[in-house]
Structure 1
Amino acid sequence: MVSVDGQSQHVSRPATILLVDDNPAVARAMEIAFRLAGHRLDTATGPEEAFSRLALARYDAILLDMNFGPNESSGEEGLACLARIMADDPAACVVVITAHSGIRIAVAAMQAGARDFAMKPWRNAELVAKVEAAIARGRTAAPAVPAAAPAPTGEPPAHLLGDSAAMHGLRDLVRRIGPVPAGVTITGRPGSGRTLTALAIHAASPRAATAPARVDLRDMDAWSRLDGASGTAILRHPDVLDPVAQTRLLDRIPADLRCIAIADSTAPFLPALRRRLATVEVAVPPLRDRDDDAILLARHFARTAAERFGRPQARLTGAAETAIRAAAWPDEVRGLALAVERAVLLSNDGVIDAAALAPPAPVVPTPTEATPDIRFDLTDAERAMIEAALREHRHNVTHAATALGLSRGALYRRMARYGL
């Protein structure tokens, strides 16, 4: 209920709120205040963790500090984070936090889509009421953008993580083509995020409130899901169909069905199928073209795996981050996620080093001689991982070998091979 002065006395149900603030004392105080008011408050220490959490759950409100790091007062970091949040979800309820001297920043934030602002220092009761009022206003107002309505499937939001230029371009393209009903085909390497991109396009469309039909076209029994379908359909593997099957598919797709296809290539498409399914082709960039996104994603996977499996929050060592940058990950982002999740489960101290990211060594059935050197195959990333391990352990060969899962002799031989 909202009082005449615009402050909320309470909301109709408990709210989930995300606080983005790097001050632990502030986070603890706010968690207590919102818990006593009947709400749940999660905390992210900065934009990277905030986007990670927003990719996993939907929040009724986001409390966003406008400065992170020491001696920062310009508000540029907060405004950039706000712009990304609002671009991903124009209906997001954001309340920004700024100092008394930051009225200019607060005005800029409101112009950029924030629903309200709070000045430091604040009284907890007033801040809780302000956030509740902002949530209540959003619940009673019609959404300005149909895509902002959460899908009823209970699935996590379809957020595309990454700070690289390639991912900024992909998100921009998704936002531009999502609202129009044109057919889209998503190409790229398997495991690079093609399905997530398809879901993000659907989430940016006026049809977002209805879950899309998902059809693997290699399974003829699944084709029946197209009969009478409306809204959006995600069609996998249309590029494996022969010309006759492609023609049958065209006849089977309802005229008003928005199709988002996932394929390795559009080259096998008949011209008529290309016009129906690939008015726009969206190429998902491979991980190697995404700068340091692999590190950002690895931290995201480590955070979510720790929460899912009840493990301590895991930290990547410098050697592990170097290995992640250098490796050509099989199965792209999906392969990186698997490696990080396995490392979180096997870590005893919450530290993930380079060795923990390596896949188990293949079993050699009948070796002609003992081969301890091949226990850990570093493939393309081997030299970079060895260099990082040596730096991390101050060139103590014994400790570096242990971190890499090698004997001292095996490490010395590899060092000699690479001239280290």
Structure 2
Amino acid sequence: MEDQNLGRILIVDDNEDLLFAAKMLLKKHAKEVVIEKDPRRIPFLVNNNNFDVILLDMNFTEDTTSGKEGFHWLKQIKEIDPKAVVILITGFGDVEMAVKALKEGATDFILKPWQNEKLIATLTSAVRLKESYNEVEKLSKKQKALQADLKKPFADIIGSSPAMKNVFAIIDKVAQTDANVLILGENGTGKELIARAIHDRSHRHDEIFVGVDMGAITETLFESELFGHKRGAFTDAKEDRAGRFEVADKGSLFLDEIGNLSMPLQSKLLTVLQKREVTRIGTNKSIPVDIRLICATNMPIHDMVMENTFRQDLLYRINTVEIFLPPLRDRQEDIPLLAEHFLKIYSNKYRKNFTGFKPNAMQLLQRYTWPGNIRELQHALERAIIMAEGTELDSRDFFFLSNKPVNEKHAPAANTLNLDDMEKNVIQKAIDKNGGNISKAAKELGLTRASLYRRLEKYGL
């Protein structure tokens, strides 16, 4: 069998003998040859298939000389797919009309009766043009995403504690595979940085890394954002748009806060992950995607499976390997490293001359519980550097932090009748009593899990 380098070809002509002859010639050179004698089926065929080249007759039986039908169907094709590569089939006397059609968006034209070698050469050039269109579109999308990537600060992971060394070891083992990874940890622990580290150490490191905050996508926009849409698929769909899966093709796709997805959206995501193909809204075309999937959540996803709020089959699909990121309070030895890292960054950013920390400042940073984890530490350093004077940061520069030692974080608030303080203490006691199990603590408190999570967020617990 000869090389099938002509891709998928659609031929539309009302001459059945011509269609048959063209198919017999081209089937040795193309992956697929679709022939059609009725031009009225063009919209259906183009909407539901990905053709590399379309061969279109200029004249059909209703109008054999003017070429008006050819112009009509050329316009229809271009409205459906502006990047369609269309080659017109025309008689010798219609060359002037064919030249006009080139100005209307046709790629080339061939005269009938054609020479077989000439037809194949014309189609080969057209397929290369189609490939260049696709490559330019993909590169354009990737360039935009990569530019956004470059603006993301602090791409390095800082830490030398045993807990972080264990995380690094797992990253080294899993990065070179295409295994799906689930990263667990509280807000602000650096889950996206871990995902990027996995991508950077993988064989896909030269391709794109696409991050999606699942918690920020509404139910109505979920399919459009992830799977894409065709122009006109809904009111605001003014142009064709590739979804995040398509943009991430050959690279890594990071789905953050995956625990926030509703059960119906979980089902749609699972279908795509199983089939490894997406279908844009407004079309029936399936587009294969090749991605490395990395997910993250701060929610107790295994408990959610037990409570039937997260699909077990989806969990199996996304967590071939799990990585748990410890909160900052459980790796206090990393606080000086992180603090020095942010000190350098923000000293340069704000053109300050800070060289380090006074002992009382570092002691305060290490005593503090950091409910917001690394993100809170980063914010604290930036704020202190903006407001402070001198060359060393003092504990007074962190006056906005609670001076509560780590080993006293569970101590009850003394002599207070403040309702918020009392509620915070009761919640903390319930969590401690139940060994950190949120579901059991919520049951004992007479709250739903969702209500308890809202209170934990409110009080920074």
User: Rg larger in 1 or in 2?
Assistant: 2
TM-score (norm. length: structure 2): 0.44
TM-score (norm. length: structure 1): 0.48
